[in-house]
């Protein structure tokens, strides 16, 4: 009985002891603070804010220009603060900063809070990197063409546009003048003027010429849309067009998008185009075969044939469809590469989505053309001026995609083409396909031909 009583007493003692110890420990453990969005953001500073942590006596504030805090803004490494906010001063305008905070009592320090990103207002005094894109792209381990979408009227010798194009870009694609609608005015009748000017410009200046695009549902001339012949005669018209155009540019154009956008956006289906309707499911293969035959007959045995499409990184059924098309072409040895348009936004696709998409082409041993890159920053029409946040977010996105592209194996690289030079000339806000309301700033140069941070991001992607 005595022993039992003693046992109960001892366990009671231990229990009380450990319970009270636990209480002390809980009380002594400082929670990490929650950092809040900044206030009073100005050109050279902002007010950093965070929540109260019980038992804390002060806070330690870190401010950095990088998210990982590998370096600190001078004076802001574990800066002691006794309030729940601090005005951070002495910063550079138009620049991204990050802050985080820890709570402290006498001796104890909590873990880190969440990290808050803030971009100071005003234009950054930090000059953009003036290095020419193609100069840097030619120096990487496995170089590739840096391409630009052009219009014939922009190619006036000595213009600002012409100078930048020659300095920075090593490939061109016609933005629309090498499509079927502008070239083919009637059966067997061609208007070569604008397309010839573009091709001659590339050839004369040592710039690669990518042909875009032989067959596209959005550039079918009216005479062909209204064609009253049989389906077999329709196919012969398409064959004649492809043959004549490829022959005309044989030896002058290095590569062609033979078929553009044949996959539908829904359900991984084939797009229900006039070509599918009139020529049947084998039409893509037929078009590639006709292009190949015409090139060979004209003595150009190294013409590269591409299939080109968009939104395959985010739309997986569509991606699957595109790779089914490609597998089919590959089985007949008719395709050399895939064009990924990449009309992206500052939020999408993610790095992983792009990598997965491109890697499917790598495993098939195909050349990869990022063929129409632009990065929207106002796809939801929520800004009316190009804000610093969006400017820097866009810079990161350009950097990311260039980095992904540059990391591809040498054999899979071809060109990375940007779809337009100046923001104010981009197709994005005017496109009928995109339904983009409001303005946007998707490119590498502003309306005065000044390089943007996106251009610096492009260069940084080549590091």
Contact call for residue 372 and ligand XIL (CB under 6 A): yes
Site for ligand XIL in 20-39 (CB under 6 A): none
Least Å from the CB of residue 293 to ligand XIL = 24
Contacting residues for 50 by C-beta, under 8 A, at least 6 apart: 33, 34, 35, 36, 59, 84, 85, 101, 113
Among residues 59 and 414, whose Cβ is nearest to ligand XIL?
Answer: 414
Site for ligand XIL in 434-463 (CB under 6 A): none
Among residues 260 and 454, whose Cβ is nearest to ligand XIL?
Answer: 260
Exactly one of 62, 86, 168, 175 binds ligand XIL (CB under 6 A); that residue is: 175
What is the H or E stretch that residue 236 is in?
A: helix 231-248
Among residues 61 and 213, whose Cβ is nearest to ligand XIL?
Answer: 213
Among residues 175 and 440, whose Cβ is nearest to ligand XIL?
Answer: 175
Least Å from the CB of residue 421 to ligand XIL = 12
Tokens of 13: 């003692």
Exactly one of 315, 341, 388, 453 binds ligand XIL (CB under 6 A); that residue is: 341
Strands 96-104 and 116-119: antiparallel
- Of 86, 168, 177, 372, catalytic: 372
Exactly one of 56, 260, 273, 417 binds ligand XIL (CB under 6 A); that residue is: 260
Strands 189-190 and 184-186: antiparallel
Residue in 179, 219, 173 with CA at minimum distance from that of residue 198 = 173
Residue in 401, 389, 440, 347 with CA at minimum distance from that of residue 120 = 389
Least Å from the CB of residue 427 to ligand XIL = 3
Among residues 86 and 309, whose Cβ is nearest to ligand XIL?
Answer: 309
Contact call for residue 176 and ligand XIL (CB under 6 A): yes
Least Å from the CB of residue 167 to ligand XIL = 23
Among residues 33 and 420, whose Cβ is nearest to ligand XIL?
Answer: 420
Rounded Cα–Cα distance for residues 408 and 413 (Å): 7
Least Å from the CB of residue 155 to ligand XIL = 15
Residue in 331, 457, 313, 449 with CA at minimum distance from that of residue 394 = 457
Residue in 122, 119, 124 with CA at minimum distance from that of residue 37 = 119
**Residue 372 catalytic?**
yes
Least Å from the CB of residue 259 to ligand XIL = 11
Contact call for residue 427 and ligand XIL (CB under 6 A): yes
Question: Per-residue DSSP letters for 33-75?
Answer: P-EEEEEEEETTEEEEEE---TT--EEEEEEESSTT-SS--TT
Question: Per-residue DSSP letters for 160-196?
Answer: HHHHHHHHH-SEEEESSTTSHHHHEEETTEE--HHHH
The site for ligand XIL, by CB under 6 A, has a size of 6
Residue nearest to ligand XIL (CB): 427
Q: Which residues of 211-248 are buried (b: 16+ CB within 10 A; e: fewer)?
A: bbbbbbeebbbeebeebeeeeeebbebbbebbbebbeb
Tokens of 134: 């193609």
Least Å from the CB of residue 29 to ligand XIL = 57
Contacting residues for 199 by C-beta, under 8 A, at least 6 apart: 209, 249, 252, 253
Among residues 215 and 358, whose Cβ is nearest to ligand XIL?
Answer: 215
Q: Is 280 exposed, middle or buried (0-12, 13-18, 19+ CB in 10 A)?
A: exposed
Q: Is 162 exposed, middle or buried (0-12, 13-18, 19+ CB in 10 A)?
A: middle
Among residues 390 and 436, whose Cβ is nearest to ligand XIL?
Answer: 436
Least Å from the CB of residue 428 to ligand XIL = 9
Rounded Cα–Cα distance for residues 289 and 239 (Å): 9
The residues assigned a catalytic role are 372
Enumerate binding residues for ligand XIL (CB under 6 A): 175-176, 260, 341, 372, 427
């Amino acid at each position: 009985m005595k022993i039992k009583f003693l046992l109960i007493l001892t366990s009671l003692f231990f229990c009380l002891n450990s319970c009270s110890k636990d209480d002390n420990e809980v009380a002594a453990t400082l929670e990490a603070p929650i950092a809040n969005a900044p206030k009073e953001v100005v050109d050279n500073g902002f007010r950093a804010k965070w929540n109260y942590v019980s038992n804390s006596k002060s806070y330690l504030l870190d401010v950095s220009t990088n998210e990982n805090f590998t370096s600190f803004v001078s004076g802001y490494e574990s800066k002691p603060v006794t309030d729940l906010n601090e005005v951070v001063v002495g910063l550079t305008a138009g620049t991204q900063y990050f802050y985080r905070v820890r709570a402290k009592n006498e001796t104890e320090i909590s873990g880190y809070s969440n990290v808050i990103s803030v971009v100071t207002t005003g234009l950054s005094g930090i000059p953009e990197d003036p290095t020419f894109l193609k100069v840097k792209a030619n120096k990487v381990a496995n170089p590739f063409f840096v391409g630009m979408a052009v219009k014939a009227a922009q190619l006036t010798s000595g213009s600002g546009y012409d100078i930048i194009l020659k300095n920075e870009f090593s490939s061109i694609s016609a933005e629309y003048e090498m499509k079927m609608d502008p070239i083919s005015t009637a059966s067997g009748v061609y208007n070569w003027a604008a397309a010839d000017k573009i091709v001659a410009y590339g050839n004369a200046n040592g710039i690669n010429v990518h042909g875009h695009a032989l067959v596209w549902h959005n550039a079918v001339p009216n005479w062909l849309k209204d064609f009253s012949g049989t389906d077999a005669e329709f196919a012969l018209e398409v064959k004649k067009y492809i043959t004549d155009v490829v022959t005309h540019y044989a030896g002058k154009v290095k590569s062609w998008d033979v078929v553009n956008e044949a996959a539908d956006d829904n359900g991984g289906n084939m797009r229900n185009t006039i070509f599918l309707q009139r020529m049947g499911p084998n039409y893509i293969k037929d078009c590639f075969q006709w292009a190949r035959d015409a090139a060979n007959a004209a003595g150009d045995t190294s013409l590269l044939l591409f299939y080109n499409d968009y939104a395959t990184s985010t739309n997986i059924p569509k991606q699957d469809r595109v790779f089914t098309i490609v597998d089919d072409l590959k089985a007949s040895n008719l395709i050399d590469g895939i064009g990924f348009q990449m009309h992206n936004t500052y939020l999408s696709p993610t790095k992983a989505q792009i990598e997965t998409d491109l890697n499917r082409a790598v495993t098939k041993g195909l050349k990869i053309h990022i063929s129409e890159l632009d990065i929207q920053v106002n796809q939801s029409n929520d800004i009316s001026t190009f804000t610093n946040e969006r400017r820097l977010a866009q810079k990161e996105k350009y950097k990311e995609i260039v980095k992904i592209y540059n990391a591809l194996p040498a054999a899979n690289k071809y060109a990375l083409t940007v779809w337009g030079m100046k923001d104010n000339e981009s197709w994005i806000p005017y496109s009928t396909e995109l339904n983009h309301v409001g303005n946007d700033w998707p490119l590498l140069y502003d309306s005065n031909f000044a390089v943007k941070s996106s251009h610096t991001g492009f260069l940084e992607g080549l590091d």
